[in-house]
Each structure stands twice: as C-alpha cells, then as structure tokens.
Amino acid sequence: MNQSDAEKYSSSQMNGKFEEYAETHGDGVRVVFIGNSITVHPVAPHLGWTNLWGMAASAKEKDYVHLVIDGIEKATGKLADCRIKNLADFERNFSSFDYGSIQELIDFNPDYLIVALGENVASLETREEQLAFREAFKKLLGCFVHGRTKPNTVVRGVFWSNDWKDEMMAHAASDYALPFVKADLSGDKSMQALGLFEHTGVQKHPGDKGMEEIARRILEGLFPTESGYTALVDGKAVPVRPIRISAIPFNQWAPGYQRPVDQTEIAGMLKFETEGKCEIRVRADRKFRNVKLRPLSSGVTPNIVEGEICFTLPGPGYYVLELDGYNRPLEIFADKKRDFSAERQAANIVFGPGLHEPVIVKLKSHDRVFIDKDAVVMGSFQVDNAEDIKVSGYGIICGSRNRRDGDDCYREGMDGAVRIIDSSNVLFDGPTVLDSCCWCVSAFNSSDLVFANMKVTGAWRYNTDGIDICNSQRVHIHNCFIHSFDDNIVIKGDFHKEPSMAPVEDIHAEHCVCWCGWGRTLEIGLETWAPYLKGIVYEDCDLIHNTHAALSVHLGGPGPVEDITFRNIRIEYDASEMKYIMQREGRDQIFTRIVPWSGSWLNVSNDKMFVPNGILYENIMDNPELLYCPLGTFKHLTLEDITITVDEGAIEPKCIMYALPGSTLGKIDIRNVKLNGKDISAQCVPLH
C-alpha cells in the first residue's frame, strides 16, 4: 500500500475533513491559505493537540500562517481579511476532488494566495500517477488564476523532503508563472517540534523555528529582498531590489502556458538619483574573476579591492555591472535628480510611497499621474481613446499581477505594463517598468507620444518586447533603458487592422541603452502592415547585448517603407553571449547552451510573416489573402557612424542583407561602420 509522507511520519490520524477558518483583521487586503495540518489543524485531544492553528507551533502568532499575515500587513500597510483552509481532502482524493467545494474561496477573489500542500499525497510510484497529481494541482491553482489577473501567489514545497512532489507542484506553478519555494526542512531536527508533544506525529511537524523558516521563504517569494548584491552610493547604503530576468535565450510564441521560472534568474536593480559624479561600491554574494561596466562608451573600468567592486559613474545614466559575463547582473539606474513638486501638485492621481495594487489603471483624457520614487504600483497602465495625459515620477510600474490570457499581444490583447490605443498627446516620463505579462510598453494607432527616462526591465515572460510602436505617428523615445527578453524597440504595422490602418510616421528613438535577450534590438518589423512607414530614426544608442540582430529591417508585410536611419549606434558583443533557440518542441524541451555566439549586427530582409513552415498564427485561416500579399521593400536605408566592439573571446557578428526572389531592396547608404576600429563599410553588400 502506498503511504503518504504524513503516514510515514506517524501523522495518519491527522487532517480529518476540516472546513474553512476565517480570520478578519480588517477589510483591506484579502488573503487565502490552502494547506493541511501544517497550515491549520482543529483541536484533537486524542493527539494531545488542543489548539486551532498550524501544527506544531507553540502559539498562534508563531505558526507560518500568522507570520506571513504579519509580513503581508507590514508590506502592504493594510490589515488582512484571511481565509485559512485545511484541504487534506484534496491531497488524499485529488483524482475525484470536488472543486466546487472551494467556490467560496474562489469568489473571495484573494489578493494573496499561499498554497502549502503535498504531505498527505500518497507515494505515487508510476509517472502516470504523478502526472495525474500534477494536472489536478494545476487545476486547483487555475481555480484562482484565471482571466487576465491573478493573486500574488506562492506555492510552497513539502516539509518532509520528497523530490517528485516538489517537481510536480513546481511544474504546475510555472505554467502560471507563480513562484515556488522549497520547504524541505525536516532533515534539520531543530526545525521539528521534537520532544514538545507526546504524539510522534505532532512532534514531526515544524516547531517554531521550522514555522519561522517556512514563513521567511514564503514572504521572500511574495516580496523578494535577496538580490545577491549590496551597494553604497557616495558612502550611503542604497537598497538593491531583486528583479527576475531571463537566464537563457529560449523563446516561443504563446504556447498556452507561461514561461517556466527555471529559465530565469534573479538580478539586482540599484536605483537612485544623482546630480553629477558618484562613487559606487558593490559587494556580491558570489566569487568572480572579472568585472565589466556597460555601456562601454561610459569609459568606466571598475576596480576590485578586497572583494569590493569600486568605480565612479560620470553622471546620471543607465549602466549594467557584469561579473564573469552577463548572467545575474546589477542594473544601475542613476536618474537625474529632479524636483517633481509641480508634477505632483498638478496630478489628480497620486501613488505615494509604498505598495499599491490597482491591477488595472484606466487613464482618461487630461489625467495627470504622479508616481513617487518609493512607490510600487502593481498594475497595467492603459490609455484607450483618450488625449492629453501625463504620467511622471521615478516610481515603479509592476505587471506581475496581470496575466496573459491567450495568444495575442496586439491592440485587443494582453494587459502589458503600459498600453496605449487610439490616443494622442501622451507622456510617460521617469517610471521603471517591471515584470510585464507580454509587450512591456506598446502603442497602437496613436500620435504625439513621448517615452522619456523610462527603465524597462524584469521582462522574462514569453514575447516580452520592450517598446512596440504600431501604426502610430510622431513618437519620441529618449533617454531610456530597455532590457527586454524579446525585441527591444520595435516599429510595427498591426496586421490585425487590415485594411483600415494608420501609417507609421516620424518615429525617433535616441540616447537609449538596450539589452535584447532573444530577439532583435532595434527593429522595423516584422509586422509591416500600414499605408506607409517613413521617417524612422534610431540614433545615439548603446546596444550592450544582442541576439538575433542588433539592427534589423524585417519586412514581413507589404507596407512600403520610405526612409530609415540608424545613426551613431554603438554595438557590443561579449564572450558570454548564447545562441538564441526557438522552443519548438514544447514545455519539456531542454535548452542547448551554445557559447560564444553572435548573431547579425545588421539584418535586412523581406521574409514574409506568413510562409509555409515559418511563423504561422492560428488566425491565418481567417486571413488567407495575407499569404499572397506583396513582398515588402523600402526606398532608402541609411547606416552611418556604427561602432561595433567585439570583446576578447567573442565571435564577430554577421551582416545579412537580402531580398526574396522577384523583389529588390531600395537604396542603401552605409558610411563609417567600424568593427574593433576597422572600417568595414565596403564589405556590407546586399544579396539579391
């Protein structure tokens, strides 16, 4: 007979069917705990247990549930309205569990959800049985994670070590992009309540120390603090915020689940204001040999003094500190010190210091929004058919509670961190954008837009482009940092609006630092459906990491492109770059690490978006005429003053320019392109 871990540890008498336990501190933040006896156990005199809280804490305030409640209340500044449920019935009967029995919890619509199950699941010996548990567990999570929003959630692993259970639950959590934290602490006897109770099974449960550690791990999953770095700015300690970024260039289009968290890593974000030069001292939690500060154009060379990294920044700007390659970097946002008092006074919407969770922020015409530098706003900022809007301040816009529900990233699609549709005269000045569920910042059929001093990072989910400008006019992107998993700054024409679409005109991106994790860094395309595209200028930008292509003109649609300019662009290649790979084989495909790698510094082509065995969206059957639309082309492309730096051990990037049979590219002017100081302009010849 297959035993559960609870039975193995003499806990077979525990977790009888137990209904929901409610604990209301206030009407602020809604919290749900789903677990077993470690979460809450009713009074059981025959076991020597006379309490109504998590077994085997010595007091209610010392069980992990109440420690987490306390942490949530401190982090949010709100009292908690809690629902605590012992769901051992699911563990023992997951194949026949009645999900309707938890409908009241689902309807409670929690802001925070902690799931701590697994100990009472039988020892399933076949892979088929284990996968059946995984699917049931995923279905349980899906009851709370549905539509286009989700609660802040942590899935806790089992207390009594069991690798396959942790594997199954972590896999299910990853499908919804939920953090999973291991809690296999029982190997350390001090984590148990040994000697404190007569009953062996009760003793095997976590004692106060075990409960405290479980709570610490859950709270770290909800409110991360461990970045791997500490920092001093001009001698003053400045907190380093952990951010989740992509660890490997492994991507696919909208597979119906979210990107597994094991393809990501934690980096650091150091954010402060300065008026001029500043001294930085950094300590990392790991050993390293080499350090590098990017962009290289900053001219800063860090020194290592007794394990401490020391350097002077020349002034405000955006930088990346890398230790032995680009993994687990420290991103440094040294914003120019500014007085935002006028913007705050003019604002009708103010997000002050602290955590705010509106989830969706719908902006109306003439809105003025101020985001304090110490504010974190969890939500998607959306402008739809509005005008004259200004959003300013150095605070954070975080999209982690927004969920991609389906395949689309376009105008009627997901709730990216910033989304502008059919609007005009919109300014975003200063905020940092983190953890978007799809395209981070996007604009459709809009005009007179400004994106200034923005920092876009923490983009690790599938298809998280940085800034996408679709069928819009008079757009200025300047002094921004964009570290996106997929394409960085992209100019597009949205094929969904065929044939009634607006042109793309007068787009200017300048003075930006860009890091592309999988796709193309500065791009026109791939979707180029528009009456015309003209007046597109990229200039004075540092491209510090590039995969497919640094500069790309990728004409997947028939829209005629008139003039494109790439001017004064600095492109960097490092020996730690990995080859980008498409995850074509599904969820369980293993990433093949190919290092060093470099793609193309320039890629110009008119591959069609819809081609046999190429990129093919489901709705192609609704638009078969797109298969036969004309090939894209352009009149004039200018590249001048392009500097390419290939570090020692890295591979020289390619220059690829070609037109498909039956078509030609337009006039191409290439001037002063240097690779490690050598002029290669004459070598850049298109193929026809």
Q: What does the pLDDT look like over 429-481, one tens digit per residue?
A: 999 999 999 999 999 999 999 999 999 999 999 999 999 999 999 999 999 99
**Residue 613: is its pLDDT beyond 60?**
no
CATH number of 5-222: 3.40.50.1110
pLDDT of residue 686: 73
**Least-confidence region, from 11-15, 64-68, 220-224, 508-512:** 11-15
pLDDT of residue 618: 44
Q: Residues 432, 438, 442, 443: what is their CA dihedral angle, to the nearest 10 degrees? A: -150
Q: Are the C-beta atoms of 35 and 66 separated by less than 8 Å?
A: no
Quick one: 367-683 is in which CATH superfamily? Answer: Single-stranded right-handed beta-helix, Pectin lyase-like (2.160.20.10)
Which residue ranges make up each domain of the chain?
Answer: 5-222, 229-253+269-334, 367-683
Judged on CB neighbours under 10 Å (0-12, 13-18, 19+), 297 is middle
pLDDT of residue 628: 65
Distances (CA, A) of 393 to 439, 453, 655: 22, 10, 40
Q: Are the C-beta atoms of 570 and 541 separated by less than 8 Å?
A: yes
415's tokens: 């709730």
Alpha carbon 45 to chain centroid distance? 48
Q: pLDDT (tens digit, 9 = 90+) per residue, 239-250?
A: 999 999 999 999
Q: pLDDT (tens digit, 9 = 90+) per residue, 331-367?
A: 999 999 999 999 999 999 999 999 999 999 999 999 9
Q: Are the C-beta atoms of 504 and 530 separated by less than 8 Å?
A: yes
pLDDT of residue 614: 44
pLDDT of residue 405: 83
pLDDT of residue 26: 65
**Residue 265: is its pLDDT beyond 60?**
yes
pTM of the entire structure?
A: 0.94
Q: Considering only CA atoms, which of 269, 242, 654, 617 is closest in space to residue 463?
A: 617
Q: pLDDT (tens digit, 9 = 90+) per residue, 130-152?
A: 999 999 999 999 999 988 889 99
User: Can you tell me the mean pLDDT for 209-230?
Assistant: 97
pLDDT of residue 411: 74
**Least-confidence region, from 33-37, 161-165, 240-244, 493-497:** 493-497
**Percent of the chain scoring above 90 in pLDDT:** 82
Q: Are the C-beta atoms of 155 and 170 separated by less than 8 Å?
A: yes
User: Can you tell me the mean pLDDT for 208-222?
Assistant: 98
**Percent of the chain scoring above 70 in pLDDT:** 92
pLDDT of residue 617: 45
**Residue 8: is its pLDDT beyond 90?**
no
**Residue 182: is its pLDDT beyond 90?**
yes
Q: pLDDT (tens digit, 9 = 90+) per residue, 307-326?
A: 999 999 999 999 999 999 99
Residues in CB range of 303: below 8 A, 6 or more apart:
309, 310, 311
**Residue 498: is its pLDDT beyond 60?**
no
pLDDT of residue 619: 46
Q: Residue 2 — pLDDT band, cuts 50, 70, 90?
A: low
Quick one: 229-253+269-334 is in which CATH superfamily? Answer: Dextranase, N-terminal (2.60.350.10)
Q: Are the C-beta atoms of 559 and 632 separated by less than 8 Å?
A: yes
Looking at every residue in the chain, the average pLDDT score rounds to 92
Q: Are the C-beta atoms of 601 and 653 separated by less than 8 Å?
A: yes
User: Can you tell me the mean pLDDT for 600-619?
Assistant: 68
pLDDT of residue 407: 74
- Three-state DSSP at 25 gives coil
**Residue 125: is its pLDDT beyond 90?**
no
Q: pLDDT (tens digit, 9 = 90+) per residue, 561-590?
A: 999 999 999 999 999 999 999 998 888 899
Q: pLDDT (tens digit, 9 = 90+) per residue, 385-408?
A: 999 999 999 999 999 999 988 777
Amino acid at position 405, single letter: D
User: Can you tell me the mean pLDDT for 166-193?
Assistant: 95
